[in-house]
A and B are shown apart, each in its own frame.
Chain A
Amino acid sequence: MGLIKEPLDVDFVVDPRPLTKEEENAISEFIKADKEKRLAKTKRVTKSQNELKN
């Protein structure tokens, strides 16, 4: 168990304004692409492992 120690002179603040529709779409697109990338990576690893077995 550890801590993320933020610098003493920096406080974690987010911009509290609501997301626009465009921003929401951009986030969803990013997440979708990132998931696909992760899935492709997993498939490549699995394939390599299978090739090693054979």
Chain B
Amino acid sequence: MNKFSKIELDFIIDKLTNSIENIQTGDSFPTEISILNVSELKAIIKKNGWNFNWKNEFKQPEKDIYKLTIVGNPSIIQGLISLEVKKDHVYMHLIESAPFNIGKTKVYLGIPGNLVAFACKLSFQRGGEGYISFIAKTKLIDHYIDTLGAIHFGGHLMVITTESALKLIGKYFKT
């Protein structure tokens, strides 16, 4: 576990309240975001439907891995995000919804939005003024512009600015 993890566990986890929506029923469920534990990594593998190598991601000390879960149901991970705090912003290395939240048969809506909003919040907390950057797949660039208010510049680079970050945080976090 890297040097930032303990601090984030202490300052962030218990204060986050947001929600995801069940596609079938339309019911909303409050969620929380917390640091991923090493013991949970065992089940986050390709065999279980996860696309990325989270074990490898976990090993890199500059990155912090967070999980999104429903309040009261901490054992079912709804999505993961890998973040690195840079000097002037937070860089989003990876984000992935749980296998059951992907594609046309996904169970819950709102997983990525929750996680990105959290990244923006983290950026504010770490002095990055809400700025987030990431590299987008070409076909999704317009989607990120529309849904996240991200700005596209130079190749596949995308940045979420302070203004868009505030909007995202406003949507997901109670004030």
Chain A interfacial positions (CB closer than 8 Å to B): 1-19, 23-24, 26-28, 30-32, 34-35, 38
Answer whether A8 and B154 are a contact pair too, CB < 8 Å, given A3-B20, A14-B137, A16-B93.
no
Give 17 CB contacts A-B under 8 Å: A1-B18, A1-B171, A2-B171, A3-B28, A3-B109, A4-B171, A5-B109, A6-B147, A10-B140, A11-B102, A13-B95, A14-B135, A14-B137, A16-B94, A19-B91, A27-B157, A28-B88
* A2 CB contacts on chain B under 8 angstroms: 171-172
For the complex, what is the distance from the CA of A26 to the CA of B172, rounded to whole Å?
29
B159 touches A (CB below 8 Å): yes
Nearest Cβ distance between residue B48 and chain A, in whole angstroms? 17
Total A-B residue pairs with C-beta atoms closer than 8 Å? Answer: 106
The dominant DSSP class at the B interface is mixed
* B91 CB contacts on chain A under 8 angstroms: 19
The dominant DSSP class at the A interface is loop
- Asked if residues B106 and A31 are in contact (CB atoms below 8 Å), the reply is no
Which partner residue on chain A sits nearest B20 by CB separation?
A3
Nearest Cβ distance between residue A29 and chain B, in whole angstroms? 10
Contacting residue for A17 out of B20, B135, B147, CB 8 A: B135
- Asked if residues A31 and B136 are in contact (CB atoms below 8 Å), the reply is no
